[in-house]
């Protein structure tokens, strides 16, 4: 073991000498308190180390011991429903050891070494296996946890037996003597292997109309949610964690307030997954590195989360990784870079900011998993961005824009008007629309893309007309443009706006989304058709079906929404008859 001494201390960054033979990103133990750290620069016999703990009280010449291994996470049964810090130390175990105030230098394994899991083999002695092959299963809550051959290992099975095992006990032994336990370790900065990356063709359904219908995201895709303070980034991320069409959710609280993580911890056990009927916490893994935790560990928390997500992807599951927020992660990079005295880039961020962001987001994807069995899994990354003052021209937002496929821009004005989700429909976009068009046409309806396009046209037309209204007033507009303003308002208030507190509206199935939008567009067509027959606009906009359209979101049965379309046409046609008879 290489042992050096501390030569310089600058906050979370220290310099150790006599470290010849060390490698980049090796994990080290710093000082008499054995604080964990990671080598981030080597020069001669000196190593620059970022420490994942508070360095208060460290002394020059205290020992630095190199463990010889990179920062890695433990992967295996027991991850679900867990909450870790940025370097995968379970916070409940740290609390049990030190109480409310976590002491420095406490190291606890990421997975429980005492708990026994019931292992059921799916392979037999004499069979050949290679990396990624499933050799057995363990039941983890309602999810089947597949025990896989670790990367880089292959051979003939010598023994494999069912029974109760801890994660460190071997469940399978190969002919060459290699023992395979349920526990795997993997370096966080290295992506896990897969066979082939697949095209983004399957949408990630969230139950939120503005996301699913207007700006869809795909499984294996990337999305960003930028917005200033109070626009609802965290609420949007937590909503996606609750309702996203995935088997596993990895939620990273990166530099956020502690009370927000507390809300997740208290709320998720009480919520029921609408697809499985089980508590949401049972499919969630949380990485908490709040704003009062060491800044260097904040940088590692992102990699810890994505590595855990890739592990479940390799089992053939769809995983959603939600990072809240990457701006705080970028600030950690900036602070450490400043202490390293590196040449600053724009707004003080390091010059390699764009490279680091791209390397993180590129680990998303829908893939054919490693192994002889056919498995398809995905990791979808959704990152919140907190631009100072809501300025989308700042470096984190701009660099993420170049990478992310979906852009959900949050608007402070919408948030202040209690419009939730406060997604600005003019500034937002999705690059996956053409990719998912075939899926929606086959699964939902062939005219889905047509209705979605017409709704976007009306919203964009409304913006143009509002500029005219501000100059000359609404009464100066022609009747057909008054109708555009009214229908655009219906789309905004009765379709895009969604109540997170309503049992009927917090989650909206895809069929209901489609029929809600279709009824609104048909209402627009029926009104215009009646106008061409001479019916006054005032009468058309006051039909009783209009109030029923406003209450569509409260309907559970899509058939009632379908029936509303016939009522719209019937009432507009009757108005024409009444108008003609009166004139006669």
Q: Is the pLDDT of residue 1 over 90?
A: no
Q: Is the pLDDT of residue 580 over 50?
A: no
Q: Which residue has the higher pLDDT, 293 or 328?
A: 328
Q: Is the distance from CB of 406 to CB of 221 less than 8 angstroms?
A: yes
| Average pLDDT over the chain, rounded to an integer | 91
How many C-beta atoms surround the C-beta of residue 581 within 10 A? 8
Q: Is the distance from CB of 149 to CB of 129 less than 8 angstroms?
A: yes
| pLDDT at residue 79, as a whole number | 97
Binding residues for ATP: 227-234
Q: For the CA atoms of 188, 194, 198, 201, what is the dihedral angle to 10 degrees? A: -50
Predicted TM-score (pTM) of the model is 0.92
Q: pLDDT tens across 303-357, in order?
A: 999 999 999 999 999 999 999 889 999 999 999 999 998 999 999 999 999 999 9
Confidence of residue 533 (pLDDT cuts 50, 70, 90): confident
Binding residues: 227-234
Q: Is the pLDDT of residue 582 over 70?
A: no
Q: Is the pLDDT of residue 46 over 50?
A: yes
Q: For the CA atoms of 433, 439, 442, 447, what is the dihedral angle to 10 degrees? A: -10
| Cα(325)–Cα(332) distance, integer angstroms | 11
| pLDDT at residue 280, as a whole number | 87
Q: Is the distance from CB of 376 to CB of 316 less than 8 angstroms?
A: yes
Q: pLDDT tens across 62-90, in order?
A: 999 999 999 999 999 999 999 999 999 99
Q: pLDDT tens across 394-452, in order?
A: 999 999 999 999 999 999 999 998 899 999 999 999 999 999 999 999 999 999 999 99
| Cα(396)–Cα(523) distance, integer angstroms | 42
* Average of per-residue pLDDT across 154-167: 96
Q: Angle at the Cα of 287 (from 53 to 150), degrees rounded to 5?
A: 100
| Cα(475)–Cα(472) distance, integer angstroms | 8
Residue 16 CB partners (closer than 8 Å, separation 6+): 4, 5, 6, 7, 28, 30, 46, 47, 49, 64
| Cα(426)–Cα(153) distance, integer angstroms | 51
| Cα(176)–Cα(39) distance, integer angstroms | 35
- Beta 72-75 vs 83-84: how paired, if at all? unpaired
Q: Is the pLDDT of residue 17 over 70?
A: yes
* Average of per-residue pLDDT across 225-240: 86
- Percent above pLDDT 90 for the chain: 69
Look up residue 435 and give its two tokens.
């990719």
Q: Which domains does the chain have, with CATH numbers?
A: 3-70 (2.40.30.20), 80-96+195-433 (3.40.50.300), 112-182 (2.40.50.100), 448-583 (1.10.1140.10)
Give bridge partners of residue 365 from the DSSP assignment.
Answer: 379
| pLDDT at residue 541, as a whole number | 83
| pLDDT at residue 584, as a whole number | 34
Q: Which residue has the higher pLDDT, 576 or 18?
A: 18
């Amino acid at each position: 073991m290489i042992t050096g001494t501390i030569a310089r201390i600058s906050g979370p960054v220290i310099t150790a000498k006599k470290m010849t033979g060390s490698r980049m990103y090796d994990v080290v133990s710093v000082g008499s308190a054995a604080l964990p750290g990671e080598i981030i620069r080597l020069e001669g016999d000196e190593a620059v180390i970022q420490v994942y703990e508070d360095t208060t009280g460290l002394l020059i010449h205290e020992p630095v011991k190199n463990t010889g291994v990179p920062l890695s996470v433990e992967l295996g049964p027991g991850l679900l429903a867990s909450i870790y810090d940025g370097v995968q130390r379970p916070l409940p175990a740290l609390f049990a050891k030190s109480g409310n105030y976590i002491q420095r230098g406490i190291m606890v394994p990421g997975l429980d070494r005492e708990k026994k899991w019931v292992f059921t083999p799916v392979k037999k002695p004499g069979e050949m296996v290679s990396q990624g092959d499933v050799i057995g299963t363990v039941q983890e809550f309602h999810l089947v946890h597949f025990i896989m051959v670790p990367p880089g290992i292959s051979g003939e099975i010598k023994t494999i037996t069912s029974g109760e095992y801890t994660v460190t006990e071997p469940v399978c032994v190969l002919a060459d003597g290699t023992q395979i336990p349920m526990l795997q370790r993997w370096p966080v900065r290295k992506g896990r292997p897969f066979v082939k990356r697949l095209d983004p063709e399957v949408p990630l359904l969230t139950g939120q109309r503005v996301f699913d219908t207007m700006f869809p995201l795909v499984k294996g895709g990337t999305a960003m949610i930028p917005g200033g303070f109070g626009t609802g980034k965290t609420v949007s991320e937590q909503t996606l964690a609750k309702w996203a069409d995935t088997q596993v959710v990895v939620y990273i609280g990166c530099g956020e307030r502690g009370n927000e993580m507390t809300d997740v911890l208290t709320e998720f056990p009480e919520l029921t997954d609408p697809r499985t009927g089980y508590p949401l916490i049972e499919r969630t893994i949380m990485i908490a590195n709040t704003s009062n935790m060491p800044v260097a560990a904040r940088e590692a928390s992102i990699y810890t989360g994505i590595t855990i997500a890739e592990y479940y992807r390799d089992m053939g599951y769809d995983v959603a990784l939600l990072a809240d927020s990457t701006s705080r992660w970028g600030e950690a990079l900036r602070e450490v870079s400043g202490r390293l005295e590196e040449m600053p880039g724009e707004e003080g961020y390091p010059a390699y900011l764009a490279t680091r962001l791209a390397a993180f987001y590129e680990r998303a994807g829908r893939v054919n998993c490693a192994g002889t069995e056919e498995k398809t899994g995905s990791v979808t990354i959704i990152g919140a961005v907190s631009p100072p003052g809501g300025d989308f021209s700042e470096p984190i937002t701009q660099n993420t824009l170049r990478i992310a496929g979906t852009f959900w821009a949050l608007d402070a004005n919408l948030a202040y008007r209690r419009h939730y989700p406060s997604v600005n429909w003019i500034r937002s976009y999705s690059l996956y629309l053409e990719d998912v068009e075939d899926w929606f046409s086959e699964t939902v309806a062939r005219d889905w893309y047509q209705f979605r396009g017409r709704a976007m046209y009306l919203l964009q037309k409304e913006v143009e007309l509002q500029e005219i209204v501000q100059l000359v007033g609404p009464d100066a507009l022609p009747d057909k443009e008054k109708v555009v303003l009214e229908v655009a308002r219906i789309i905004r208030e009765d379709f895009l706006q969604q109540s997170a507190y309503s049992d009927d509206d917090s989650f909206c199935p895809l069929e209901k989304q489609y029929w809600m939008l279709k009824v609104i567009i048909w209402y627009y067509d029926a009104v215009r058709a009646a106008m061409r027959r001479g019916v006054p606009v005032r009468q058309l906009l006051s039909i009783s079906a209009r109030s029923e359209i406003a209450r569509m979101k409260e309907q559970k049965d899509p058939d009632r929404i379908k029936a509303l379309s016939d009522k719209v046409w019937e009432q507009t046609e009757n108005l024409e008859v009444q108008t003609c008879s009166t004139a006669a």
